Homo-oligomer: A and B are copies of this chain.
Amino acid sequence: GKADFDVRAVGNLPGIKDLHIVSDDYKLVSRKWKVNPTVIDFGDGLRVKEGEFTIMAGPCSIENEEQVEKTINHLVEQGVRFMRGGVFKPRSSPYSFRGLGLEGLKMFYDMCRAKGIKVVTEVMQVSQIAPMEPYTDVFQVGARNTQNFNLLDELGKVDKPVLLKRGISGTIDELLYSAEYIFSGGNEKLMLCERGIRTYETASRNTLDLNAIPILKEKTHLPVIVDPSHGIGIREYVEPMALAAIMAGADGIIYETHEKPEEAASDGAQTLSFPESERMIKKMQKTFTLRKELGN
Contacts and interface: CB of A to CB of B under 8 A. Distances in A.
Given A148-B145, A168-B169, A199-B199, A244 B248 contact: yes
A241 B250 CA distance: 12
Given A124-B150, A169-B168, A283-B296, A203 B215 contact: yes
A148 to B, nearest CB: 6
A197 interface: yes
Given A180-B94, A247-B243, A203 B148 contact: no
Most chain B CB within 10 A, of A93, A95, A293, is at: A93
A22 to B, nearest CB: 11
A147 interface: yes
Interface stretch (A11-19, A39-47, A51-59, A204-212): A204-212
A198 B200 contact: yes
A202 B127 contact: no
A274 to B, nearest CB: 19
B290 A294 contact: no
Contacts of A178: 92
Most B CB contacts (10 A, CB to CB) among A125, A153, A184 go to A125
Given A213-B240, A240-B296, A249-B240, A94 B171 contact: no
A125 B126 contact: yes
A85 interface: no
A31 interface: no
Given A91-B149, A240-B248, A247-B287, 14 more contacts: A93-B180, A94-B181, A124-B149, A125-B150, A127-B127, A144-B149, A168-B169, A197-B199, A197-B201, A199-B200, A201-B211, A210-B241, A210-B244, A218-B236
